[in-house]
Amino acid sequence: MGGIVEAVELEIDVDPERGERGREARVAREPDAVGVEHHQRDPARLRGGQHVEDLGVDRRLATGQLVARAGLTLDIGVGRRLRPLGPITLDIAGPPELVFDVIAAPYLGRTPRALQRKLEVIERGTDLVLAAHFTPVAPGLTVTTLETVHFERPQRITFRLVKGPVPHVIEHYELRASATGTAFEYRGELGTDLWALGAWWGAVVAPSWERTVASSLNAIRTEAERRAQRQSQAKNASRRRDGVVVLPGRVGALIESCKHRAVDLIAEV
């Protein structure tokens, strides 16, 4: 994948008037081309037209903007500190195959217009894509990350960070069949360099990262359960058209059990 895209600009937009319009993933042809836009009243202008004063954000977010502007995805492997992401577990009332399709469709198929402010697929293969994700980390502040996404139907999806605010992130979605549908688990790890300094920066980034993942997973569960319910209703309607009476849950199971018992008694006679 290294030859497909050389770099992606990381744009941070802190103008509340622009809001969502500030989110764009730009594929740059020059290595390490990382850009930031700031727009404030009466700003101090630095070389290149970037503004740094009166950002209206706290010290941690200001530090994040400086890291982004300098393009400092420092993957030097010195003083590497790893911290876990998750786990987040969900019970989803739908089969794993359906849940997998809900997750994979915007990546492997056509990305819906409603998701185009959050996702841009840059290169698409049969089971591997290169995608830009647009993640809001504060009001008016958005970070763009570049990731590969590997699909192993229907049990696993793996995300690997290529470029972003930290040098290392790997995340896994695990899907297993359960009595109620799908047992879903999210796990990952986030890595930073430079010992204590990197650990501090990881502590800043990780909570926002996990909140974004949790919000995305809740949306996935809602959509998967909606589709599963719709499919169940369509199946029941079809059975009723064929003259099969569909009874709810326990009542239907009890009647079926009685039928089997009656057959057994007749056979014994």
Q: DSSP characters for 149-163?
A: EEEETTTEEEEEEEE
Residue 82 lies in a domain: yes
pLDDT tens digits, 221-257: 999 999 999 999 998 887 777 665 555 555 555 566 6
* Cβ–Cβ under 8 Å, residues 10 and 128: no
Greatest mean pLDDT range, 19-23, 104-108, 207-211, 251-255: 104-108
Greatest mean pLDDT range, 2-11, 65-74, 138-147, 151-160: 151-160
Residue 166 lies in a domain: yes
Residue 22 lies in a domain: yes
pLDDT tens digits, 39-80: 333 333 433 444 434 333 444 445 455 444 334 466 788 999
Q: What pLDDT sits at residue 115? A: 92
Average pLDDT, the chain: 75
Residue 255 lies in a domain: no
- Quick check: 111 pLDDT over 50? yes
H/E run at residue 69: helix 59-70
Q: Is the pTM of this model over 0.75?
A: no
- Quick check: 162 pLDDT over 60? yes
Residue 90 lies in a domain: yes
Strands (E), 93-225: 119-124, 128-138, 141-152, 156-163, 168-178, 181-192
* Number of domains the chain contains: 1
Residue 254 lies in a domain: no
Q: What pLDDT sits at residue 262? A: 63
Domain span at residue 181? 7-227
Residue 153 lies in a domain: yes
pLDDT tens digits, 185-228: 999 999 999 999 999 999 999 998 999 999 999 999 999 999 99
**Rounded Cα distance, 245 and 249, in Å:** 13
Residue 30 lies in a domain: yes
Q: The domain spanning residue 188 has which CATH number?
A: 3.30.530.20
